[in-house]
């Protein structure tokens, strides 16, 4: 594997499959007292410039289960918030810890951190990518019997960071990925092009949610307003009003389709209460798998 995990395109198909298999091993071990502790004595610094529940707690608890230790850093109480350059932060942290996780705005902040850090850097979400989420989602889809090389995934809503990472995964693994979104809200065109260069998947963008959902094995959605887009609320509510996963849309999908959402969800906006609480929803499996897959990532990236 490369030194850093900043986007799905950093991984080869066999590396994704191997992380999923290792994540499943960690899941099976659960809380067993005699489980291995490969990261005993190791530390992870976690920089959060945006809010988080799952990413923060799953990385911290996962690091603890691996025998290591995690340090939470927010801009408010570190020098990051007072303008210390990210390159200096990277070089300082590299002298203390064995890996850094960052959740931030511009993806270039994460790449700059990774370039200056001598230790591995993991992307815990940027404006453009959310690789750990999609790895957990792939693990979840596999657990629910989906063929990661052949499945048909329909993404309904905003072509955001989560959608971009799905586009990359589709091309690396070779499955079909269809986004239904309003004009102007497509996945990032540069990322789509870069993923196409790997070129094994079948990625399409359509306008009609029913066309995307037709025979889908996975129906996926995410919020209409990502973190940092709160001021666009009015415009986005209008643009996305027909891009909701509801019971009617679910009927277009395959009979064995699962419904996924990275959470947090806004019931009544991108997904209905009935569907997210219904029998096809696997949203809490996805949330749980964040921890197991990240344990696999940390075990792989951090030098033992």
Give catalytic residue positions.
103, 130, 133, 222, 262, 290
Write the CA distances from 81 to 84, 109, 232, integer angstroms: 7, 14, 25
Among 125, 154, 250, 258, binds ligand CP (CB under 6 A): 125
Nearest approach in angstroms of CB 52 to ligand NVA is: 8
Instruction: Please say which residue, 93 or 162, places its beta carbon nearer to ligand CP.
Output: 162
E-strand ranges in the chain read 43-48, 69-73, 99-103, 121-123, 152-156, 176-180, 202-206, 218-221, 258-261
Buried/exposed 128-157: b ≥16 CB within 10 Å, e otherwise: bbbbbbbbbbbbbbbbbebebeebbbbbbb
Among 143, 263, 266, 285, binds ligand CP (CB under 6 A): 263
Among 21, 37, 53, 84, binds ligand CP (CB under 6 A): 53
Nearest approach in angstroms of CB 136 to ligand NVA is: 11
Interaction between residue 215 and ligand CP (CB under 6 A): no
- Chosen from ligand NVA, ligand CP, none, partner binding at 223 (C-beta under 5 to 8 Å by type): ligand NVA
Residue with the two structure tokens 């990236």: 301
| Candidate segments 6-14, 32-40, 47-55, 184-192, binder of ligand CP by CB under 6 A | 47-55
Q: Which residues bind ligand NVA (CB under 6 A)?
A: 125, 160-162, 222-223, 226-227, 262
Identify the DSSP state of 245. Answer: B
Identify the DSSP state of 260. Answer: E
- Chosen from ligand NVA, ligand CP, none, partner binding at 53 (C-beta under 5 to 8 Å by type): ligand CP
Nearest approach in angstroms of CB 229 to ligand NVA is: 8
Buried/exposed 265-304: b ≥16 CB within 10 Å, e otherwise: beeebbbbeebbeeebbbbebbbbbbbbbbbbbbbebbee
Hey, how many other C-beta atoms are within 10 angstroms of the C-beta on 115?
12
Instruction: Please say which residue, 111 or 229, places its beta carbon nearer to ligand NVA.
Output: 229
In the chain, the largest separation of any two C-alpha atoms, in whole Å, equals 54
Among 43, 94, 104, 133, binds ligand CP (CB under 6 A): 133
Interaction between residue 294 and ligand CP (CB under 6 A): no
Interface positions with ligand CP (CB under 6 A): 52-55, 125, 133, 262-263
């Amino acid at each position: 594997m490369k030194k850093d995990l900043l986007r799905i395109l950093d991984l080869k198909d066999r590396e994704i499959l191997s992380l999923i298999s290792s994540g499943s091993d960690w899941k099976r071990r659960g809380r067993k007292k005699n489980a291995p502790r490969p990261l005993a004595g190791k530390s992870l610094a976690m920089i959060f410039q945006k809010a988080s529940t799952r990413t923060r707690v799953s990385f911290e608890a996962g690091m603890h289960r691996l025998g290591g230790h995690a340090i939470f850093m927010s801009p408010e109480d570190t020098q990051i918030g007072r303008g210390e350059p990210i390159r200096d932060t990277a070089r300082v942290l590299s002298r203390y810890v064995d890996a850094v996780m960052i959740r931030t705005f511009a993806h270039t902040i994460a790449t700059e951190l990774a370039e200056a850090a001598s230790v591995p850097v993991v992307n815990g979400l940027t404006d453009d990518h959310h690789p750990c989420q999609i790895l957990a989602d792939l693990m979840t889809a596999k657990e629910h019997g989906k063929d990661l090389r052949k499945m048909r995934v329909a993404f309904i809503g905003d072509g955001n960071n989560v959608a971009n990472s799905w586009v990359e995964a589709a091309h690396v693994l070779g499955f079909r990925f269809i986004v239904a979104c309003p004009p102007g809200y497509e996945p990032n065109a540069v990322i789509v092009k870069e993923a196409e260069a790997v070129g094994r998947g079948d990625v399409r963008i359509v306008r009609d949610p029913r066309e995307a959902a037709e025979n889908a094995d996975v129906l996926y959605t995410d919020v209409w307003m990502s973190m940092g887009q709160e001021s666009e609320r009015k415009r986005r509510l209008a643009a996305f009003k027909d891009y909701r996963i509801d019971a009617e849309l679910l009927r277009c999908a395959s009979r064995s389709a699962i419904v996924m959402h990275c959470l947090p969800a806004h019931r009544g906006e991108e997904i209905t209460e009935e569907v997210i609480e219904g029998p096809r929803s696997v949203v809490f499996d996805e949330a749980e798998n964040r921890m197991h897959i990240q344990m696999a990532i940390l075990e792989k990236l951090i030098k033992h």
